[in-house]
Every structure is written in C-alpha cells, then in structure tokens.
Amino acid sequence: MSQQTVALAGATGFVGRHIARELVSRGYGVRALARDRDKAAGTLPREGVTVVLGDALDPEAASELCAGCKTVINAIGTRRELPSKGVTFVKAHVRSTRTLLDAAGGAGVSHFILVSALGVRADAPTAYYRSKYEGESLVRSSGIDWTIFRPSLIHGADGEFIGMVRDWTLGRAAPRFFIPYFAKIEMKHRPVPHPAMVSAKVAPVGVDDVARAIVNAIERPEARGEVYPLCGPETLEWPELLAAVRDAVPLNDSKKRILPIPAIKGVMAARAAEAVGLGEMLPFGPSEPVMAAEDSVCSVAKAEAHLDFSGVGFREALASYRDQI
C-alpha cells in the first residue's frame, strides 16, 4: 500500500470521483481540488481525502493542490459550453491545464496525468476536440513526465450518459416520446441510389476500468510519455447501445422507439440557437452531434501490455449496476 499523496483536479466529476475511490482503495492519499465543499463531501471518500477549495484557474488554489505531491491527475472536462455559467472549452481544457502545469512545475511534480478523449486531434471538426488537443499539447511541452488517456464513451451507474438515457426512457426529459441519436448521412446504392442515416460504432468503457488504468500508470515507468486509447471490448451501434440502457431501466417502456437525427441538422439547430442567445436551451451544443456521428473504437493493446488494462463488455457491466440506475 502506498503512502504517496496524489493531487486530483476535477475530483467531484464523474470520472474524478471514481479515480479518487480507486486511489484511496490502494492506500494513496488524495488531495482533491473542488469548488463546492458540500459536493465534495457528498461524492468523495470520507477517509484518505483532503479537499482544497478553489478553482483550477486560480494559481493559488492550484499551488496548494500540488504542493508536496509527485503526481497530478487532471480529470477536468466538460462535454458542452455553458457561457452563462462561465463554462467554456478553453477554460476547462486549456486554461485550467496551463494553470495546473505551472503549479506542478513550481511544486516539483514529476508526473502529470491528463484525462483527454478518444478522437482528439489538431484538425478535428469540433471545438471540443480541438480544445482537448491544445490541452494535450501543453502537457507534452511542459517538461514534466506525462501520461495521456483518451477514453471512448465512459459509462457507469452514476454517469451523465446513463442518467440521460434513463430520463429519456422515463419521459423525464425532452424528447419525451422517443430516444434520439445522431447519425451520419451516407449514400447507399442498392437497390437504387439513396441517402441513408448510418449509426456510428461505439465501444463504451466502464468508469472503474478507466480509473484502474489511470492509477496503474502512477507506478509504471513505461507509462511516461505514452498516450493510451481506452475502449471496452464490446462494439455496438447507437440503437443497440440505447436499447440496452432503455431495457435496463426499472419501469421502462420497452416499446419506446429509438430514432436517428441527422447530425448536420443537430449542428444547425445548435448554431441557430446560439445565434439568438438560446443555445443553452438545447440539451446539446454544436460539437456533440458531430462527435456522436464518428466511430469511437480503438485498440487497447498498449494499455493491456503496460497497464494490465482489462475492460468489461458494456452489456455485462450494465447488468451489474442496473439496480443503481
């Protein structure tokens, strides 16, 4: 069991709180950065965690977080921008990373671990991916040993994705009468040429599998300077994935239809809403339809070899926590 204290930013988020639990379970101390003490108390382990109140954009809070730690894990992220609440991709993925890296450098941190996302690249078609790539670039050029994780869709009983599909299934959130997914439009040539909506392929990865891989990277020298894509072993198309969640929800309506929406129409709707100041009225921004229409699958051979990564299939994992949905 380790006595090392690990600094964790984004600790009260979905992935962050599972990383905190994994660290504590292995004997690590956790210094967790949180903006809300009550939320930290409700989501983080009571033992083994010291909460630093503050924002990752605040150099003083970041310095307090990193002081005396050899490892920093940055699990800060947002899937969409909410300008009215001060939430932007640049703040969440770029400026916070820069502030944490500056603090880590001043504190003598020797290992910086970043939770990024599968699909990140410099020429990506979405602001979300581009901001994540900019954050990765800062980490790579920091002069501190680093490890970057790029997970596919992360799922778990307390995750946003599962909660969203549950609410669609039960009619608690719009659209109340069907379950949607974004699809790309492709030309099919049989029996005659015609456009068709095609689902992306997704290999969801369990949040606890992600947390274990991240904590394993702390003590593995071979993880330094590596980027690890993480996916689960089961690849599904969106209708299959959504039907599995729908049917696992207690008191579900198993007849509720799962219908595609053209991704381009989702992007146009989000941009139009933003143009008139109503962007936050929609449950998605302009990046999400594009990302949902891309395949999210990968090879995990490197993570298996370096980190003993072993993912659980989506349906098997879903069955294990269906009573908690």
54 is written with which tokens?
A: 């503050």
pLDDT in tens, 178-225: 999 999 998 787 776 778 899 999 999 999 999 999 999 999 999 999
What does each C-alpha distance from 160 to 66, 79, 130, 181, 250 come to in angstroms?
28, 10, 22, 15, 17
* Predicted model pTM: 0.95
DSSP state of 279: G
Mean of pLDDT over the chain = 95
> What is the per-residue pLDDT for 1?
44
57 is written with which tokens?
A: 């954009």
309 is written with which tokens?
A: 């990564």
pLDDT in tens, 62-85: 999 999 999 999 999 999 999 999
pLDDT in tens, 224-242: 999 999 999 999 999 999 9
* Cα 181 from Cα 243, distance rounded (Å): 11
* Cα 189 from Cα 234, distance rounded (Å): 29
